[in-house]
Amino acid sequence: MSLTPLDDTIAAIATPLGEGGLAVVRISGDAALQVADKTFLPVGKNSRKPSEADSHTIHYGKVMRAGRQVDEVLCAVMRAPRTFTRQDVVEISCHGGILSTKSVLDAILENGARLAEPGEFTKRAFLNGRIDLTQAEAIADLIHSRTELALTAANEQLAGKLSQRINQLRDDLMTTLAHIEAYIDFPEEHLEEETREQLLQRLENGVKFMDELLLTANEGQILRRGVRAVIVGRPNAGKSSLLNQLLGRDRAIVSHIPGTTRDTIEETANIRGIPVVLIDTAGLREARDEIESEGIRRSHESLATAEVILHVLDASEALTAEDEKFLADFASKKRILVRNKMDLPAKLELPAQDSPTVSVCSLTGKGLEELKDAIKSLVWSGQINNEMLQVMINSRHQDALKRTRASTILALDALRADVFLDLVAVDLFVAVRAVGEIVGKTATEDLLDKIFSQFCIGK
């Protein structure tokens, strides 16, 4: 996808594919109204052709294709610049059948629009100055939010809270660079000590602010992608029952017969506002047949990528050699030891462990709230507050900020050492470019392609 052209007209289905009550097909571009005129037939004395309609009005009518009616629709007309893309936009709401929606889109494409590429509507909003790059990314975060906290963080970023902080940092770096370049242009003017201290203070404040932002990177990534938590243990320890309790529904088959789970089961649970991807695995033991062997192999694959392990132990049985082996094998991982079946007489005695231990009953749910607290404490440092949610950075922001910080530190060291100001200016120029990538002011075409290609078509 290239930066241009922006003057052609694009169209796509903006709602998820599948059967539903309604679907929306979106058109954007200079010829959006003309394309809609050829596609939409107004019905009734108050309905208008899109090109004759006032902005932000809705009209009843039909979509026609090859002289026949495709569907009965509502047509929303929004004229530039008061639209998402800052171009003329028409949105046609039709019935949500797969065939009817595709037929409406096909009619639009036949009448002069082209199919939009992934994320192209949002990309046009960015290129036309409607939003910056962090806000564009927030739209994707908003769509994919799996918890209220993730939704709040995405809305804060979409509102421009992170952009404001990043733009202020960039302005401070540019102001410092302008001062340095002014002294380079007029070498007869010596850099006064008081001025040097002011410049140093501004750069030091910038580094401090970047450090604060970088501290949010881990939590930001957790909210966006979730934490992978693998449930492991011997067969019949209660792993599937625990999964069902954490999900709040029966997802895995539960049986008293050991080895019921033969494959990994993956589902996302909302645990204290954090999306936790729970992976139920086949019981770890010597395989009894080929199918169980494959399930155990997959269990070990899941363990290799796990960020958290929930090691389930049967508290009604004494510790076995297998239990001891697994305790040793998982010692280097972030884990919680889950003593299950606390409703039965306790026989399990655990050796001293650094890992937190929680007792539960996966049949009744007793102890489940304590387990949720333990999971949150293990993966999330400190309290979750609104100020933190406003500025949670993603991995791309983190990379750009690290490069900005490194160049700013070099500029600070050079300024303190009273070396040639040209060297200070070079480092500051690199810092300004790096921080500009975050909001898209210095983003390359390749970077934009990478970001927007991850969006769905129609967004």
Q: What CATH number did the domain enclosing 111 receive? A: 3.30.1360.120
In a domain, 5, yes or no: no
Q: What CATH number did the domain enclosing 319 receive? A: 3.40.50.300
In a domain, 245, yes or no: yes
Tell me the per-residue pLDDT of 191-217, one tens digit each, with 9 for 90 and over.
677 788 899 999 999 999 999 899 888
Q: What share of the chain is helix, strand, coil (3-state, %, to 5)?
A: 45, 20, 35
Q: Tell me how far apart the alpha carbons of residues 392 and 215 are, in angstroms, rounded to a whole number.
A: 9
Q: Where a domain ends, among 107, 129, 151?
A: 129
- Predicted confidence at residue 300, as pLDDT, reads 60
| Whether residues 247 and 342 fall in one domain | yes
User: Token pair 């957790």 is at which residue?
Assistant: 222
In a domain, 453, yes or no: no
- Predicted confidence at residue 383, as pLDDT, reads 61
In a domain, 447, yes or no: no
Residue-by-residue DSSP string for 189-246: S---HHHHHHHHHHHHHHHHHHHHHHTTHHHHHHHHH-EEEEEEESTTSSHHHHHHHH
Q: What is the mean pLDDT of residues 235-249?
A: 83
pLDDT over 70 at 152, yes or no: yes
Q: How many other C-beta atoms are found inside a 10 Å radius of the C-beta of residue 285?
A: 15
| Whether residues 161 and 95 fall in one domain | no
In a domain, 188, yes or no: yes
In a domain, 4, yes or no: no
Identify the weakest region by mean pLDDT among 47-61, 91-105, 323-337, 404-418: 323-337
| Whether residues 236 and 278 fall in one domain | yes
Q: What CATH number did the domain enclosing 148 receive? A: 1.20.120.430
pTM, whole model, 2 decimals? 0.77
- Predicted confidence at residue 77, as pLDDT, reads 97
pLDDT over 50 at 260, yes or no: no
- Predicted confidence at residue 91, as pLDDT, reads 97
- Predicted confidence at residue 28, as pLDDT, reads 97
Query: What type of residue is 179?
Result: H
Identify the weakest region by mean pLDDT among 29-38, 49-58, 77-86, 136-145: 136-145
Q: What is the mean pLDDT of residues 273-292?
A: 65
| Whether residues 119 and 143 fall in one domain | no
Q: Tell me how far apart the alpha carbons of residues 456 and 459 are, in angstroms, rounded to a whole number.
A: 6
| Whether residues 243 and 366 fall in one domain | yes
Identify the weakest region by mean pLDDT among 214-228, 262-276, 332-346: 262-276
In a domain, 290, yes or no: yes
- Predicted confidence at residue 402, as pLDDT, reads 96
Are 86 and 46 a contacting pair, CB within 8 Å?
no
Would you state the structure tokens that stand for residue 325, as one six-digit string?
């082996």
Tell me the per-residue pLDDT of 7-52, one tens digit each, with 9 for 90 and over.
799 999 999 877 888 999 999 999 999 999 999 999 998 899 999 9
Helix (H, G, I), strand (E, B) or coil at 26: strand
CA distances (Å), origin 219, targets 28, 268, 341, 384, 409? 36, 17, 33, 9, 25
Q: Which residues of 147-201 form beta strands (DSSP E)?
A: none
Residue 429 — very low, low, confident or very high, per pLDDT cuts 50/70/90?
very high
Q: What is the mean pLDDT of residues 140-168?
A: 88
User: Token pair 């007792």 is at which residue?
Assistant: 359
Percentage of the chain with pLDDT > 70? 88
Identify the weakest region by mean pLDDT among 90-94, 204-208, 237-241, 283-287: 283-287
In a domain, 415, yes or no: yes
| Whether residues 252 and 339 fall in one domain | yes
Q: Tell me how far apart the alpha carbons of residues 433 and 447 are, in angstroms, rounded to a whole number.
A: 13
Q: What is the mean pLDDT of residues 411-438?
A: 92
| Angle at which helices 395-416 and 161-185 cross, to 10° | 30
Task: Name the domain count of the chain.
Answer: 3
| Whether residues 375 and 395 fall in one domain | no
Closest by alpha carbon to 347, among 356, 339, 355? 339
DSSP, res 366:
B
Residue 251 — very low, low, confident or very high, per pLDDT cuts 50/70/90?
low
| Whether residues 371 and 396 fall in one domain | no
| Whether residues 25 and 103 fall in one domain | yes
CA distances (Å), origin 382, targets 215, 357, 375, 378, 379? 11, 20, 13, 10, 10
Q: Tell me how far apart the alpha carbons of residues 212 and 429 are, in angstroms, rounded to a whole number.
A: 22
Q: What is the mean pLDDT of residues 436-454?
A: 85
Residue 124 φ/ψ, nearest 5 degrees: -65, -40
| Whether residues 318 and 405 fall in one domain | no
Q: Which of 15-24, 30-39, 134-143, 146-155 has the highest mean pLDDT?
A: 30-39
Start-to-end CA distance of the chain, whole Å, equals 15
Q: What is the mean pLDDT of residues 353-370?
A: 90
| Whether residues 323 and 203 fall in one domain | no
Q: What is the mean pLDDT of residues 101-106?
A: 95
Whole domain around residue 142: which residue ranges?
A: 135-216+391-440
Q: Where a domain ends, among 89, 108, 129?
A: 129
| Whether residues 266 and 310 fall in one domain | yes
Q: Which residues of 4-88 form beta strands (DSSP E)?
A: 10-13, 20-28, 40-42, 57-65, 68-78
pLDDT over 50 at 428, yes or no: yes
Q: Where a domain ends, among 350, 379, 408?
A: 379
- Predicted confidence at residue 259, as pLDDT, reads 46
